[in-house]
């Protein structure tokens, strides 16, 4: 449905977004991940029509989108964007903000859509308030409702959950995915949070220094990252030392604490409680590894006998 072909935007010879191509299908969710400065927001602004690309083309429903430079208002009708500052109308109430994109619809259709969005995004009690009278998280939900009101073909979200507490974040994520499937809106989400990316995405795109270096399913990104940069974006890696020229690593959850002696012996240096497990910093041959366990008995052992799940070793 949306096809991006060799789009680029360079600020200097080494800074910007280098040619990137990808496609997204109806109701698909793509999450863009990468370090600060990797080009995530630039890509979102190009897709939203806020920036003019140096090269490349964007097609929606097989139709070439015009250059933003030729538009009176720099945006695409069927591509909605929720920026980090929300861009709500300050002198309009919450319900007016939500209905603004559909102000030309019939009153009955407006009310039906408003009720659905207010219910799904938990805004029913806030409709008569102004943006200044609600919290940042509530403003964020209002901005998402406003963006979804006109049932865009594509919805762009820049860090959409950074204002929400954990219970609200989980509800909001589920609500957005539900609405996405109902109206077949495709999602492109920028996030710095690895768990959000793994939870939400059908595919994840990894950007580094303006380049697209891997596009794959969450499982493939986590279990078969293309390089160390990608692997470390999604969690801790313990690096293995051997005579191989290829670098290897293992994630903490794939190191097994054995009840019988092994050749891999470690001493606990520090331990942290992480809710679902304990994080142990273990000294092994003058190196510090991170090992996870949910067995409290392991916390009191002087030495740990360890084995590695060899099928989970990462190769770089």
29-33 and 186-190: which strand pairing? Answer: parallel
Q: Please tell me the total number of residues recorded for the chain in this structure.
A: 316
Domains and CATH numbers, the chain: 2-229 (3.40.50.300), 236-315 (2.40.50.140)
Residue 86: HSE in the Cβ half-sphere, 13 Å Cα cutoff: 24
Give the C-alpha separation, 72 to 5, whole Å: 24
72 has a pLDDT exceeding 90? no
154-158 and 79-82: which strand pairing? Answer: parallel
Give the C-alpha separation, 273 to 257, whole Å: 17
SS3 262: coil
How many angstroms separate the Cα of 106 from the Cα of each of 73, 109, 180? 25, 5, 23
210 has a pLDDT exceeding 90? yes
Q: Contact 277/293 with Cβ under 8 angstroms?
A: yes
Q: Contact 269/284 with Cβ under 8 angstroms?
A: no
Give the C-alpha separation, 254 to 176, whole Å: 33
pLDDT score of 84? 83
pTM: 0.93
**What are 90-120's pLDDT values in tens digits?**
999 999 999 999 999 999 999 999 999 999 9
In DSSP terms, which residues pair with 16 in a beta bridge?
Answer: 10
Mean pLDDT throughout 161-190?
91
Give the C-alpha separation, 285 to 268, whole Å: 12
Sheet holding 304-308, edge to edge: 255-258, 304-308, 264-273, 278-284, 287-293
241 has a pLDDT exceeding 90? no
Give the C-alpha separation, 26 to 45, whole Å: 20
Instruction: Sort 244 into a burial class: Cβ within 10 Å, 0-12 / 13-18 / 19+.
Output: exposed
SS3 316: coil
Q: Count CB neighbours of 31 within 10 A.
A: 26
236 has a pLDDT exceeding 90? yes
Confidence bin at 295 (pLDDT 50/70/90): very high
How many angstroms separate the Cα of 280 from the Cα of each of 234, 240, 270, 305, 312? 18, 17, 6, 13, 19
Q: Contact 3/59 with Cβ under 8 angstroms?
A: yes
SS3 173: helix
Q: Contact 314/220 with Cβ under 8 angstroms?
A: no
Confidence bin at 162 (pLDDT 50/70/90): confident
Mean pLDDT throughout 287-297?
96
314-315 and 248-250: which strand pairing? Answer: antiparallel
Mean pLDDT throughout 10-17?
93
pLDDT score of 163? 80
**What are 16-71's pLDDT values in tens digits?**
999 999 999 999 999 999 999 999 999 999 999 999 999 999 999 999 999 998 98
Place of tokens 């303006």: 210
Confidence bin at 191 (pLDDT 50/70/90): very high
């Amino acid at each position: 449905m949306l096809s991006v072909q060799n789009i680029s935007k360079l600020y200097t010879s080494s800074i910007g977004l280098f040619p990137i191509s990808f496609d997204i299908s109806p109701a698909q969710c793509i999450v863009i991940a990468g370090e600060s400065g990797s080009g995530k927001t630039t890509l979102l602004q190009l897709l939203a029509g806020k920036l003019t690309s140096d090269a490349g083309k964007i097609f929606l429903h097989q139709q070439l989108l015009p250059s933003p430079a030729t538009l009176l208002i720099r945006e695409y009708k069927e591509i909605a964007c929720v920026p980090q500052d929300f861009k709500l109308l300050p002198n309009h109430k919450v319900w007016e903000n939500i209905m603004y994109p559909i102000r030309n619809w019939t009153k009955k259709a407006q009310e039906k859509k408003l009720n659905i969005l207010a219910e799904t995004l938990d805004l029913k009690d806030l409709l008569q308030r102004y943006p200044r009278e609600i919290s940042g998280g509530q403003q964020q939900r209002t901005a998402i409702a406003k963006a979804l009101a006109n049932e865009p073909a594509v919805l762009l979200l820049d860090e959409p959950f950074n204002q929400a507490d954990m219970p609200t974040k989980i509800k909001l994520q589920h609500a957005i995915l539900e609405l996405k499937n109902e109206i077949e809106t495709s999602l492109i989400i920028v996030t710095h949070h690895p768990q959000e990316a793994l939870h939400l995405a059908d595919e994840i795109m990894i950007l580094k220094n303006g380049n697209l270096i891997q596009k794959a399913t969450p499982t493939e990104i986590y279990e078969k990252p293309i390089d160390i940069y990608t692997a470390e974006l999604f969690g801790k890696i313990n690096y293995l030392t051997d005579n191989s020229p290829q670098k290897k690593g293992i994630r903490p959850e794939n190191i097994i604490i054995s009840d019988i002696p092994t050749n891999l012996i470690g001493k606990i240096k520090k331990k942290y409680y992480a809710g679902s497990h304990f994080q142990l910093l273990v000294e092994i041959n003058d190196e510090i590894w991170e090992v996870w366990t949910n067995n409290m008995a392991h916390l009191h052992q002087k030495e740990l006998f360890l084995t590695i799940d060899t099928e989970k070793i990462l190769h770089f």
